[in-house]
Amino acid sequence: MRLDADWYDFRDLGNSVGALLEQIEDWGAPEWVPYVVSGLIGVLAILLWTVLSVLAFIWIERRVVGLMQNRIGPNRVGPNGLLQPVADVLKLLFKEPITTRHADRGLFWLAPIVIFVPTLVVFAVIPFGERMVLADLNVGVLFLIAVGSINTIAVFMAGWASHNKYALLGAMRTIAMLISYELIQVLVLLAAVLFAGSMRLGDIVAWQQDYGVWLLFLQPLGLLGYVISGAVEMNRSPTDIAEAESEIVAGYHTEYGGIKFGFFYQAEYLAGFAIAAVIVSLYMGGWTLWGLEEWVPGWFIFLAKLYGVFFIYIWARGTLPRLRIDQLMAFAWKFLLPLALVNVMVTGGEMLLWQEAELSSGEALPLFGVINAALAVALIGGWAWFLGQLREERVAHRAILTQELGAIYFGEAASKL
């Protein structure tokens, strides 16, 4: 995009905002006013977009999951159930937010806020278009991980303040899950940053635009690791062990009702959008589409990709059964962590090879893509087979009480299996 494009050039909404800021400066405002105005516009735009997306996706998710499970989904409230999100929000707003007698009032009130704010702040570093980043930080990728790690504190506060043993148990399980997958997230994002040479998300998108390749072709192991750890960070099925209604009542947000639960609900969707946005920016080229961004607005391409990735997560929710907590932890520590470490080593080696052998990008990148893809297939298949060999055989046992009773009533032979 040219920097002096006209204000009505909606291919990049930064042009309109830039024209507005120049106009403010021409009116003779002091120096800090354009800066504050641009910040406010960015914040309001992000808030508006997230709220509208959450409303839309409440309906879309329930409809799509319903159709996948061979039922209709919401179709009562409004034409085809399209006003269902409005009904949901009204219900949450009007319900009485009860605080139990023994709950820790300060922390109980604070936990929904602390879980909502970090997921919103993540959107500040994500490039929606060429000049549509609220704060293109030098340490953007690290900022994403750091802000995501505050979720663990909020989950603990919610579980502890409820003064409810199921809530505390759910919170502990969720925290164990979150910190394990956070480690894998860091390693996988490290490998992606190695390719682009910078932690700034705008630079990573520009790298993908310059070399004309999406990072997911060069980092298949990384994409696998990040998609799975993203699903866990979102607390979505198949990894929603924290809020599994049939298992632990509702985990760490058991005692929350009304608009406090509304905050948890919205934070879950926002976390989903944030993870999808990071996947799109880092692995799928962000707002670029191999030159199509000359005609189609960049932010439109970005949102289309984001909703596509989020649709895959909805698809996974409707299809896959829920995993147990020990299965999840074993998967993280035994399977994904070695893969992520090997990925980092191989990526580092490739970058060194690229520099030392002075290959051009035309011959280096396909070579790396093929090596990484082959390595991914070999490692995933081979390591999974190897771990399967190590699993001990399960022997069926009868419960002890049944054995004893069987021995009493039917003689000694009945107490064996």
Interacting residues toward other proteins by CB under 8 A: 32, 104, 106-107, 110, 137-139, 142-143, 145-147, 149-150, 152-153, 156-157, 160, 168, 175, 179, 182, 199
Least Å distance, CB 229 to other proteins, is 15
Residue with tokens 């998609």: 227
Assign residue 127 a region (left: φ > 0; alpha: ψ between -120 and 50; beta: otherwise). beta
Q: Which is nearer to other proteins, 32 or 385 (CB)?
A: 32
- Between 197 and 366, name the residue whose CB sits nearer to other proteins: 197
Q: How far is the CB of 174 from other proteins (least distance, A)?
A: 11
Give the residue with the Cβ less far from other proteins, 116 or 299: 116
Min separation Cβ 381 and other proteins, Å? 30
Least distance in angstroms from the C-beta of 170 to other proteins? 14
Nearest distance from residue 290's CB to other proteins, in Å?
Answer: 29
* Shortest Å distance, C-beta 254 to other proteins: 18
Tokens 């989950």 belong to residue = 155
SS3 string, the chain, reads: CCCCCCCCCCCCCHHHHHHHHHHHHHCCCCCHHHHHHHHHHHHHHHHHHHHHHHHHHHHHHHHHHHHHCCCCCCCCCCHHHCCHHHHHHHHHHHCCCCCCCCCCHHHHHHHHHHHHHHHHHHHHHCCCCCCCCCCCCCCHHHHHHHHHCCHHHHHHHHHHHCCCHHHHHHHHHHHHHHHHHHHHHHHHHHHHHHHHCCCCHHHHHHHHHHHCCCHHHHCHHHHHHHHHHHHHHCCCCCCCHHHCHHHHCCHHHCCCCHHHHHHHHHHHHHHHHHHHHHHHHHHCCCCCCCCHHHCCCHHHHHHHHHHHHHHHHHHHHHHCCCCCHHHHHHHHHHHHHHHHHHHHHHHHHHHHHHHHCCCCHHHHHHHHHHHHHHHHHHHHHHHHHHHHHHCCCCCCCCCHHHHHHHHHHHCHHHHCC
CA distance 31 to 161: 46
Residue 397 beta carbon to other proteins: minimum distance, rounded to whole angstroms: 11
Residue with Cβ nearer other proteins (10 or 109): 109
Contact 347, 219 (CB under 8 A): yes
> Which of 137, 375 has the CB closer to other proteins?
137
Q: How far apart are the first and last CA of the chain?
A: 74
**Minimum CB separation from other proteins for residue 142, in Å?**
5
Q: Considering beta carbons, is residue 141 or 205 the nearer one to other proteins?
A: 141
Residue 66: CB minimum distance to other proteins, A: 37
Indicate the residue among 47 and 139 with the shorter CB distance to other proteins. Answer: 139
Cα separation, 288 vs 301, whole angstroms: 7
* Shortest spacing between CB 175 and other proteins, in angstroms: 6
The smaller minimum CB distance to other proteins, of residues 182 and 350, is found at 182
CB nearer to other proteins: pick between 39 and 308: 39
Six token digits for residue 334? 């035994």
- Cβ distance to other proteins smaller for residue 278 or 309: 278
Q: Which CB, 82 or 186, lies closer to other proteins?
A: 186
CA dihedral 372, 377, 382, 384 (to 10 degrees): 110
Nearest distance from residue 335's CB to other proteins, in Å? 20
Give me Rg for the CA atoms of the chain: 25
